[in-house]
Amino acid sequence: MGFSRVTFKKSLLALSASVMVAGSSMVLAAETIKVGVLHSLSGTMAISETTLKDTMEMLVADQNAKGGLLGKQLEAVVVDPASNWPLFAEKARELIEKEKVDVIFGAWTSVSRKSVLPVIEELDSIMFYPVQYEGEESSKNVFYTGAAPNQQAIPAVDYLMNELEVERWVLAGTDYVYPRTTNKILEAYLKAKGVAESDIMINYTPFGHSDWQSIVADVKKFGSAGKKTAVVSTINGDANVPFYKELGNQGISAEDIPVVAFSVGEEELSGIDTKPLVGHLAAWNYFMSVESETNAEFIKNWHSYIKNDARVTNDPMEAHYIGFNMWVKAVEKAGTTDPSAVQDAIIGISVPNLTGGYATMAPNHHITKPVLIGEIQEDGQFQVVWETSGTVLGDAWSDFLAGSRDIISDWRAPLSCGNYNVKTGKCSGQNY
């Protein structure tokens, strides 16, 4: 059946209306700068990542209150990769191709970051990664605002060895790339310091592991050999809750076998009874308890935004604070949100950190950070017991692994390489 003149006119009107709506949507989209937020809001890592989503929304709101960026308002586009590592890649692609975000802030575990990496590079976008990681990577599309091993793991071991005279070492981690690579570096470092292989115990458990009774019993037995023993923990996510609970159940105090954690901060401790854990340690680059004007203002803004004075702050939040402010300054410097222009503009940019100093983006896409060792208190906060005298530059490639010690990363022209071998004079890979 053919169209009548009335039907045809109605179709034209409907088409015109849809074109107008589509045009309005395009104009609206052009009026905002979209910021992608890629953090798990469900699954085993939600205990750590949900707060980072809240942090990014706060930072975006604060920037909009200042007038936005380049004359436009910012819009946070939030997705939930649900602690599902392949889903991180899908959600990253969705953010870039469908939502047209100008930048992504996100990921937590190294396996989630490595899932996103080929997507970010293929589509030539940029991502700010806010969590401590194992190093052995430098991508032109990623800015690493969390700690590299030389900014957390190595100083923590030095503290235990020099200050607490630890001689036996338990390297306990969740079974994925960050703990395994970090422990590989630490094992090589300890052996270079004269530690015997028999004085190193290594154990891995899956994500979400809950039955710690036999493992903690093994740790207790390992620590009964007459030498001062410590646990270096790269256990991630909600598995930390039953792990620390079992330490308390088996009467392992910080005086007997101290634990220094790289993935336990104020947020993780807020969900458990910390009394049995008093004296155990964590190595980070920021603690909520740090006294500085910048930190006091950040905590005040956080409590005002989240409308809950009991909510804590932590190290990855500071990393997003630093990364976001670096991105803003780079965009202002470049006069555009174009990723390539931002990549060039951001190197050398310095912004305040929350401990009273400054963080600078280096040519290897890592930043300068102080290193702090904190002792767990009954209220779930940390008392700083040791810190570096200044900031430490993150090292993309470890000095303690044979395949890495001759490699450097420098994303400035003319080198523009994340994997340059100083002995062969060759760039091993275009991006990392």
Q: What is the pLDDT of residues 206-237, one digit of tens each?
A: 999 999 999 999 999 999 999 999 999 999 88
Q: Are the beta carbons of 48 and 268 closer than 8 angstroms? A: yes
244, pLDDT greater than 90: no
Q: Is residue 253 part of a domain?
A: yes
Q: Is residue 227 part of a domain?
A: yes
pLDDT in the model for residue 9: 37
Q: Which residue type does 113 have?
A: R
Please count the structural domains in the chain.
Answer: 1
Domain containing 266 equals 149-282
What is the CATH number for 269? 3.40.50.2300
Q: Is residue 129 part of a domain?
A: no
Q: Is residue 252 part of a domain?
A: yes
Q: What is the pLDDT of residues 157-171, one digit of tens each?
A: 999 999 999 999 999
Selection from 127, 116, 117 nearest residue 90 by Cα: 116
Q: Is residue 243 part of a domain?
A: yes
Q: What is the pLDDT of residues 45-81, one digit of tens each?
A: 998 899 999 999 999 999 999 999 999 999 999 999 9
Q: Is residue 209 part of a domain?
A: yes
The CA distances from residue 345 to 262, 330, 411, in Å, are 31, 5, 11
Place of tokens 């965009």: 331
- What pTM value is reported for the model? 0.88
Give residue 432's pLDDT band: very low, low, confident or very high (50, 70, 90): very low
The two tokens of residue 163 are 């200050």
pLDDT in the model for residue 30: 62
Q: What is the C-alpha separation between 403 and 426, in angstroms, rounded? A: 14
Q: Are the beta carbons of 129 and 49 closer than 8 angstroms? A: no
